[in-house]
Structure 1
């Protein structure tokens, strides 16, 4: 029996409760307890982005946060963005542009890009935004915004092409 109060949050639209070890990462809880294995454990140090999920609309490395710290949060993993028969537009664009090779980083890339598109819609600048009022969505801008997600296979140009397709389709 745990002495800690339970952490309650929503994962992919479903209410969940965590009562385990307070030192356990969100990544391990998602993978081991909930069976959501789309979120990958890459470096386990917050350096590669393979474990990126969306918490309350913001992208985070799930290996760097504890499950209990997410009490009250809404968490979205790659499984919550689409299903094999109903993929999100970004997931379809990744397939169309071959935005993956081995696919290990792809769930984190897609979660990161999904949240990044929302950041763009809200007008958030990046470190390379020359004009803070009118952000020009160059490839350099997209690369900077996705720089927390590494692809060991080097599919970066295809990832950028997939994201660009979605940004150009959005009015």
Structure 2
């Protein structure tokens, strides 16, 4: 009896996106592909940077203007040439957004502080996305919405975006530069 093998998401990621030299446009699907699509979106957003003042929320749409690290260009990354591109992260059918920051000053065991006083977050702070995942309330079936969580630094910030369960959209679109 043969075993069913999971797809090689790393190979699939590079096969899908490395052939798009002028940027990507990617949307999460709301069906059974959602977990796989979220994995790809997480990879596309890793180390993206934005300022809090670039986040807008109007008419059930949340948009984040960001600078995205192009990890999908494996050959460029291997040559220590990480390329960044202007992008938009967009959430549609947003029901609620929460933002938490923890401007922590913690003394590390070796010496010094993990965060200095100047790391306090302001609207002009340049923030980096470290993680994107499905929130606990959605996984536990407690929340009636799809809860997606963006986390990053500095300040250990966390943005929770609650989307309509039946009809939501999440996409990233690079601004093509010519």
TM-score range, shorter chain: under 0.3
- Structure number with higher relative contact order (C-alpha < 8 Å, ≥ 6 residues apart): 2
Indicate the structure with greater helix content: 1
Bigger Rg, structure 1 or 2: 2
The normalised TM-score by structure 1 is 0.26
Higher strand share: 2
